[in-house]
Amino acid sequence: MTAHMDEEFHRRLSAMVESMPAFPESVHQIMSMTADINCSPKDLVKVIESDPIMTMKILKLVNSAFFALSRNVASVQHALVYLGLNTVKNLAISIATVDSLPRQSIPELPMSAFLTHSLATASMAQHLAKDFLHLQSFSDHFVAGLLHDFGKAVFVQFEPATYAMVLNEARETQSPLPQIEMERMGITCAEAGAMLAESWQLPPALIDSIRTHVDCNENSSDMTLTVAAANTVVKAMNLGNSGNPHVGDFQDFMRRRLGSDLEGIIGKMDALSDEVHDMQNMVQSAP
């Protein structure tokens, strides 16, 4: 891609994401919850963060340059403390009621399976951060897991036919998805997601994990590590679908840094699939 095309593509994507629809059930939940003036802030956080689109839009606003000089709000809870409960509530309402495009869906990557994958990765990344790395800021890792494949949702929404072809080709040739994305679209979903996150001034650690979770290594940040490892674990557990036929290996350095092997992690996560199921019910009724 030339620099010029790159910029053009980027501008187009960014503009289109504005009108990207949140998931219908989270919109419904937000509206019914906020009709009650005493709605529980905890529940509000839960609904927002079980919808990658809504979460992304809120982080985008909270970190935007028009409002503040700093750019470090990395979780929905942080947005709440930073901006105040009512402002976040009103933001969620405005996102829920904004005129959005009809949601695209392709059989190659049904949005319900994509959502399951995103939520499972989010939960798993949070568990890894909290219970294996003992980090206090585990909500940031939830969000990183939730948004790691945001670029895919954007591709499905705005280039459904092309992206369906890409997904098919990856499946038929059993090739890594990023490779086919590069060949057919000139950009990987990780790069597209990272570029968008960058233009919205999301926190650098989050941008980095979106961009580099696909080639996580020994020196990656904790956030890239939890997301990459979570990605591998949930694929091994067959939770949802990321569209990528290649399950990345659970590598030696992951085991070393997390202090557990794949089986050890899965062994502690029997509740995960129920947890994901509950979250998914929040955003989407029947698949």
Partner 1 sequence: MKLRFWGVRGSIPSPGPKTVRYGGNTTCLEIWTDDGELIILDAGTGIFPLAQTLLEKMPVHAHIFNTHSHWDHIQGLPFFIPLFVPGNKATIYGACDPVSGNSIEEILQVQLQYRFFPIRESELNAKIEYVSLREGESVSIGNALVTPVLMNHPVVNFGYRIDNAGKSLFFTGDHEPSYNIYEPEDDEHAMYQMLIEQKNRSILERMCGVDVLVADASYTEDEYPAKKGWGHGTFDTCIQMAEDAKVRQLFLTHHEPTRDDEALEAVFSKSLEKRTIQGCEIELAREGVLVEW
Q: Which of 33, 68, 111, 182 binds partner 1 (CB under 8 A)?
A: 68
Residues 6+ apart with CB under 8 A from 234: 117, 120, 121, 124, 240, 272
Size of the site for partner 1 (CB under 8 A): 31
Taking CB under 8 A as the binding criterion, the range among 16-24, 72-80, 96-104, 171-179 that sits at the site for partner 1 is: 72-80
Q: Which of 26, 121, 123, 139 binds partner 1 (CB under 8 A)?
A: 139
Q: Which of 85, 113, 164, 165 binds partner 1 (CB under 8 A)?
A: 85
Decide if residue 82 touches partner 1 (CB under 8 A). yes
Decide if residue 170 touches partner 1 (CB under 8 A). no
Both tokens of 183, joined, read: 């060949």
Q: Which of 14, 34, 87, 105 binds partner 1 (CB under 8 A)?
A: 87
Residues 6+ apart with CB under 8 A from 273: 120, 237, 239
What distance in Å separates the CA atoms of residue 199 and residue 287, rounded to the nearest whole number?
32
Which parts of 19-66 fold into alpha helices (H)?
24-34, 41-48, 52-62
Pick the closer one to partner 1 by CB: 116 or 139. 139
Asked if residue 141 lies in contact with residue 221, where contact means CB atoms within 8 angstroms, the answer is no
Decide if residue 234 touches partner 1 (CB under 8 A). no
CB of 83 to partner 1, least distance (A): 7
Q: Is the dihedral of CA 175, 180, 183, 186 positive or negative?
A: negative
Question: Which residues of this protein are in contact with partner 1, per CB under 8 A?
Answer: 40-42, 45, 61-62, 64-70, 77-78, 80-87, 90-91, 94, 130, 136-139
